Chain A
Amino acid sequence: MLVYAGVLAYAAARVPSFAALVAAIGVFGALLLVFVLVRRADDLLPWALAVLGVAYTVSLFLHGSAVDEAAPLVAAGLLLCGELAAWSLDERHAIAAERAVVLRRGLGLAALALASLGAAAAVIAFAASSAGGGLAWTTLGAVAAVLVIGVATELVRRTA
């Protein structure tokens, strides 16, 4: 919840004049996250993150066209928020876990957060570099998008 609040506060602070709008969207997401944690509705967890993502996107568009250099932190924060919430949901049953189990998950989560921060930073850095535009880059982006959508569809099919 703290990570969620941090990301939301950052998004709202970027556009002081529209902070109420961003905060309203974010609070809705926060309530959804609380609902997820209290009712153990892990199916809805991505939706809570999506709402926060929407709040950030609104602040992005309202702020202007300048690239937000803190976007990797926001991205890593969103993922961290989701993972911590999922960890909390996984511990809903009173199971005595030995220290090595907790340590492994904690280290795994830290590694994932760092890697995601690196990946998001790399995206921003690539965009800032003067590699030039053109059809090739657009095609590459489209292919990447199609690949990601394909992976998402496959994963949804498997979990359904």
Chain B
Amino acid sequence: MTRITSPRLAGYAGLAAIALIAGLAAGRVELVALAAPFALAAVAGAALARDPAIEATLELDRERALESEEVEATLELLSPPGGDRVDVLLPLPDELRSRASNPRAVALAPGEPRTLSVPIRCERWGAFVVGPLLVRARDRLGFHSWEARVGGRAPLRVYPSVETLRALLPPLETQVFIGDQVSRAKGDGIEFADVREWEPGDRVRRVNWRASARRGGLWVNEQHPERNTDVVLFLDTFADVRSAGRGTLDLTVRAATSLAHRYLQRKDRVGLVSFGGYLSWLVPASGTHQLYRIVDSLLQMDIVLSFATKGVDILPPRTLPPKALVLALTPLLDPRSAAALLDLRARGFDLVVIEVSPLPFVQPGKGELAQVSYRLWRLSRESLRARYEQAGVPVIEWLDGVPLNVPLEEVAALRRQARPARA
């Protein structure tokens, strides 16, 4: 532990020395009497100096939690010689809040472990490391203090809360594997599609006897097969607009988690592309493992400032499989992501843009120039939306506080009325 001696100790010794010399020189015993307490305090201070050699352990009651849940941190402190005053601070990131006093000052009995509990409220998602503890021990009169970082580190993953989604966006085309999505193609399935003339190889149980009797030949039923779909969540992480502890990146991550959770429940394959200063991706896959992979990847998502020009060319081809539905979550702030999305559309991907609106987090300035700038900025956003619409890409604005179901329903309604043309 790092020892720090109070300047008061040297000051007291100095005062004692000066008073003693003055007393001897002047022959005044009162000055020697003045010196005595300070000399005594200096000696007592030196005698009290014992390194408390504090050992500590830090444990969390669990490593994973959801947003707004509480996690209990247990701190165990031990000092063989004891500590008259030990200040204990558990450093926490801004996203985690302690409801108990942190820091707090405790007294440690010699050789007896002391256990402290710190309830931690998880305010925001993220991957965190809690610890080590910062401890500062003082002797009884505060002449010496010892500071150290003790205890280990405890990882804590706070997962974003998942919104219940009533319906999901069906992609235009399905894949070849079994799933829950009724395909537009005809084949073996449950949903009736059409009748056609019997061909060699057709099973007898598929014969539609009523149609065959009416038409005087063998006719068989055709069904729509149930297939899975590939969904790629394309997250624009070039910029984040934040205000009062909330921001577009938070909304993006929460929406991505909810969508991944729901699509994977439906046996679809879900991939992830984080397109920003730091590029990361997950190849589409299905199952619970993929959900954990996606959520873990989302937890580490952050805004990294970059001026590098990036396009979708740098993504591995397997990240964006053909016929995949690309669900883009973007605040439409960075031209690089806007261009990349238009590029995806030009390559024939089924693209839907959910615009995570930064407007609730932006306060226009008060001056006339600021107001004009704000209006111009909003106009430029309108213009960008128009470009997407011209390219046949539905862009739905999603505002903070509005359930994610709302933009999804809007996109579904739009796609029912207007089918995108093949690029």
Give chain A's interface residues, CB within 8 Å of chain B.
42-43, 45-47, 49-50, 53, 56-57, 60-61, 67-68, 71-72, 74-76, 78-79, 82-83, 86-87, 90, 93, 95-98, 100-101, 104-105, 108-109, 112, 115-117, 119-124, 127, 141-142, 144-145, 148-149, 151-152, 155-156, 158-159
Contacts and interface: CB of A to CB of B under 8 A. Distances in A.
Given A151-B13, A152-B10, A155-B9, A101 B85 contact: yes
Given A112-B141, A151-B42, A60 B37 contact: no
A132 B136 CA distance: 51
Contacts of A101: 84-85, 105-107
Nearest to A68: B30
Contact of A158 (B5, B19, B34): B5
Contacts of B12: 46, 79, 82
Contact of A159 (B5, B101, B105): B5
Given A49-B15, A95-B104, 19 more contacts: A42-B8, A45-B11, A53-B15, A60-B28, A74-B30, A75-B34, A86-B6, A105-B140, A116-B38, A119-B37, A121-B33, A123-B33, A145-B24, A149-B21, A151-B13, A151-B17, A152-B17, A156-B14, A159-B7
B143 to A, nearest CB: 9
Contact of A50 (B18, B33, B39, B103): B18
Interface string B15-35: 111111110101011111111
Q: What are the 3 tightest A-B residue pairs by CB atom distance, in nearest-first order? A: A46-B11, A116-B37, A152-B13
A124 B29 contact: yes
B8 A97 contact: no
Interface string B30-52: 11111111111111101000000
Given A96-B101, A148-B39, A104 B31 contact: no
A36 B42 CA distance: 20
B14 A152 contact: yes
Contacts of B42: 151-152, 155
Looking at chain B's contact residues, the main secondary structure is helix
A126 to B, nearest CB: 8
A145 B5 contact: no
Given A124-B33, A149-B17, A115 B40 contact: yes
B10 A159 contact: yes
B34 A45 contact: no
Interface of B: 5-22, 24, 26, 28-44, 46, 84-85, 87, 101, 103-107, 138, 140-142
Contacts of A60: 28, 30-31
Given A144-B20, A152-B13, A82 B39 contact: no
A79 B37 contact: yes
B293 to A, nearest CB: 42
Given A57-B31, A97-B85, A156 B10 contact: yes
Contacts of A78: 34, 37-38
A120 B41 CA distance: 12
Contacts of B16: 148, 152
Nearest to B100: A96
A46 B15 contact: yes
B19 A53 contact: yes
A90 to B, nearest CB: 5
A76 B37 contact: yes
12 contacts: A43-B11, A46-B14, A53-B34, A60-B28, A67-B29, A90-B138, A101-B107, A105-B140, A119-B40, A152-B13, A155-B10, A159-B7
B107 A100 contact: yes
A96 B15 CA distance: 33
A86 B229 CA distance: 71
B256 to A, nearest CB: 39
A108 B140 contact: yes
A50 B84 CA distance: 29
Contacts of B103: 93, 95-96
A97 B84 CA distance: 11
Contacts of B6: 42, 86, 159
Contact of A156 (B13, B19, B101): B13
